[in-house]
Each structure stands twice: as C-alpha cells, then as structure tokens.
C-alpha cells in the first residue's frame, strides 16, 4: 500500500467488525467472507475475529456494484492485480527519479 495523507490514516485502520461492515454495505456476512476467500478483501484477524477498515468497506461496495453489473469475481481480482502492479511500478519509478535528483 502506498503512503496516504495524514488526514486519511483513519481510513486504513482495521477496526470495524464484520457485522458493522455488513450493515454499512448491505452485504451478508457470508458474502463478505466469500469475497475474502476470493482474495478481493483482506481483513486483519485477531483471535478469530475479522476487522475491516473504511477502505475495505469502500472496496466491498465497489465489488458489490461490479457484481450487480455482472462482473465475475475473477475479473474483479484481475483488475485489482493490474491496479496494484501499476501503483507499484509508479512508486518504483518515482523512487528512482527522486534518487537521481
């Protein structure tokens, strides 16, 4: 994950229970666990309890919208992988040019 502005740090803290995530997203807890199994969302686990961030909630809402449009979980995962690769490459390029300055 790339660095985020200080005012957004709360967005990435994993403090929200699956029950609250379910209420916020309208997804069932079973659907949320399924998306985790499909590696579309990555909650923290502590003593068997899943904890999500606001960024995870946003990701789940995006996934739900894509699924409603008929996009498969495989296609969603492919797009996520592509976006991650692009962010990593951009970060590597930025780091390379910062060192040259």
pLDDT tens digits, residue range 69-92?
Answer: 999 999 999 999 999 888 888 877
5 belongs to a structural domain: no
2 belongs to a structural domain: no
pLDDT surpasses 50 at 2: no
pLDDT at res. 60: 97
1 belongs to a structural domain: no
pLDDT at res. 9: 85
44 belongs to a structural domain: yes
The residues pairing with 46 across neighbouring beta strands, listed in sequence order, are: 49
Number of structural domains the chain divides into: 1
82 belongs to a structural domain: yes
pLDDT at res. 100: 64
Mode of pairing for the β-strands spanning 44-46 and 49-52: antiparallel
> Rounded to whole angstroms, how far apart are CA atoms 80 and 21?
20
* Tokens of residue 90, six digits: 């951009």
Q: Which domain holds residue 28?
A: 11-97
74 belongs to a structural domain: yes
Residue range 8-12: mean pLDDT, rounded: 84
CA 62 to chain centre: 10
Per-residue pLDDT reduced to its tens digit, 11-66? 999 999 999 999 999 999 999 999 999 999 999 998 889 999 999 999 999 999 99
30 belongs to a structural domain: yes
50 belongs to a structural domain: yes
* CATH number of the domain to which 48 belongs: 1.10.1660.10
């Amino acid at each position: 994950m790339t660095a985020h502005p200080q005012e957004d740090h709360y967005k990435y803290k994993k403090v929200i229970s699956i029950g609250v995530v379910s209420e916020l997203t309208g997804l069932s807890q079973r659907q949320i666990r399924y998306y985790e199994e499909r590696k579309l969302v990555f909650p923290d686990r502590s003593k068997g309890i899943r904890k999500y961030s606001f960024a995870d909630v946003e990701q789940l809402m995006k996934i739900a919208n894509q699924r409603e449009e008929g996009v498969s979980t495989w296609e969603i995962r492919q797009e996520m992988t592509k976006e991650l690769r692009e962010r990593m490459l951009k970060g590597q390029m930025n780091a390379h040019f910062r060192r040259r300055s």
